[in-house]
């Protein structure tokens, strides 16, 4: 199999902080209400990281064999594209990661519900299987939904609603509909990262037949869409804090939105797609910073 450095590159470590942002937010809301559990938190982090790495491996493989990752692509060279990892080895890695992630999901469900609440456990198991399938089918197979403009929807559901609201329910076994606001916020920010990635790759994706939301909207409307995602995320978090806050500490996450304001200005004025690549890190790390400060504000 390929060298360790090649596998680390294929796992795309820079995407991992973004993937756990929803777990941090959902867990902090549960902890704020006195329902935190370290075992659930650890297993939820492991499951989410597994899903993200699985998605990265599958994306590398799917785009690689379809020819979407080619010399016209602006971002860093992928493992299949460069030949650092063979297709056979990547498929094996996808299988191993999928099985490991499913095992973590089962352990997480058991830690949360034990042998009780069988129906709820079954629902979460189905969600877990669905998340694994979604991670794989984003770019793999003839019916890859990432090639039909549905990537944004799935990212919003699994990295926003399921990650935040689902993780909250794992602790509390109860519904708190107001926590849908931060779930929507993290979902919108996660979609913003994907949208920015697709803005960067718009030209090469269109030539390769990968019809992302950006390709459907066109460059100018995709920039407006990006603006709406960031501002919408800010609005939803502020609404949540206004409803639930007890002091100003609950608003300290607003500081992490400051880099995103300058980011929006650069995106709106951008005419060179190559300059969008470093913006991906800014949005991803800002989202992680927002989630961390959000949690800190609740437990302070």
> HEC states along 162-228?
HHHHHHHHHHHCCCCHHHHHHHHHHHHHHHHHHHHHHHHCHHHHHHHCCCCHHHHHCHHHHHHHHHH
**pLDDT band per the 50, 70, 90 thresholds, residue 265:** very high
Q: Give the span between the Cα atoms of 197 and 90, in whole angstroms.
A: 22
Q: What is the pLDDT of residue 198?
A: 92
Dihedral, CA of residue 140, residue 210, residue 53 and residue 228, to nearest 10: -140
Answer yes or no: are the C-beta atoms of 223 and 264 closer than 8 Å: no
Q: Give the span between the Cα atoms of 95 and 10, in whole angstroms.
A: 15
Most confident of 3-12, 186-195, 209-218: 186-195
Place of tokens 């969008």: 276
Q: What is the CATH number of the domain that holds 128?
A: 1.10.600
**pLDDT band per the 50, 70, 90 thresholds, residue 208:** confident
Number of structural domains in the chain: 1
pLDDT in tens, 130-178: 999 999 998 887 788 988 889 999 999 999 999 999 999 999 999 989 9
Closest CA to 161 of 136, 134, 138, 137: 134
Mean pLDDT, rounded, for 188-213: 91
Predicted TM-score (pTM) of this structure: 0.92
**pLDDT at residue 72 is higher than 80:** no
Q: How many CB atoms lie within 10 A of CB 174?
A: 10
Q: What is the pLDDT of residue 173?
A: 94
In the chain, % of residues over pLDDT 70: 96
> Which residues form the domain of 242?
4-299
**pLDDT band per the 50, 70, 90 thresholds, residue 71:** low
Calculate the average pLDDT of the chain. 91
Mean pLDDT, rounded, for 212-220: 93
**pLDDT at residue 1 is higher than 80:** no
**pLDDT band per the 50, 70, 90 thresholds, residue 73:** low
Q: Give the span between the Cα atoms of 25 and 16, in whole angstroms.
A: 15
Q: Give the span between the Cα atoms of 203 and 201, in whole angstroms.
A: 6
Q: What is the pLDDT of residue 2?
A: 52
**pLDDT band per the 50, 70, 90 thresholds, residue 77:** low
**pLDDT band per the 50, 70, 90 thresholds, residue 70:** low
């Amino acid at each position: 199999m390929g060298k360790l450095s090649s596998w680390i590159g294929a796992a795309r470590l820079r995407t991992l902080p973004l993937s756990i942002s929803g777990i941090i937010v959902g867990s902090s809301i549960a902890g704020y209400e006195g329902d935190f559990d370290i075992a659930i938190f650890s297993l939820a982090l492991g499951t989410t990281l597994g899903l993200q790495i699985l998605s990265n491996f599958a994306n590398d493989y799917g785009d690689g064999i379809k020819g979407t990752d080619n010399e016209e692509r602006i971002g860093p060279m992928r493992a299949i594209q460069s030949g650092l990892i063979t297709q056979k080895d990547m498929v094996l890695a996808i299988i191993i990661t999928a099985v490991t992630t499913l095992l973590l999901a089962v352990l997480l469900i058991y830690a949360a519900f034990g042998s009780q609440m069988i129906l709820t456990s079954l629902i979460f198991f189905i969600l877990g299987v669905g998340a694994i399938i979604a991670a794989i089918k984003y770019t793999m197979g003839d019916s890859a939904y990432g090639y039909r403009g549905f990537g944004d929807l799935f990212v919003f559901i699994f990295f926003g609603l399921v990650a935040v609201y689902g993780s909250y329910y794992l602790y509390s076994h109860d519904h708190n509909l107001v926590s849908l606001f931060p779930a929507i916020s993290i979902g919108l920010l996660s979609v913003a990262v994907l949208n920015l990635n697709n803005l960067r790759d718009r030209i090469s994706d269109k030539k390769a037949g990968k019809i992302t939301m950006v390709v459907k909207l066109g460059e100018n409307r995709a920039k407006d869409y990006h603006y709406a995602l960031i501002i919408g995320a800010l609005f939803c978090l502020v609404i949540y804090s206004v409803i639930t806050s007890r002091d100003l500490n609950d608003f300290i996450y607003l500081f992490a939105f400051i880099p995103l304001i300058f980011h929006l200005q650069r995106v709106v004025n951008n005419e060179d797609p190559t300059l969008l690549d470093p913006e991906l890190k800014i949005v991803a790390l800002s989202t992680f910073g927002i989630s961390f400060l959000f949690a800190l504000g609740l437990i302070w």
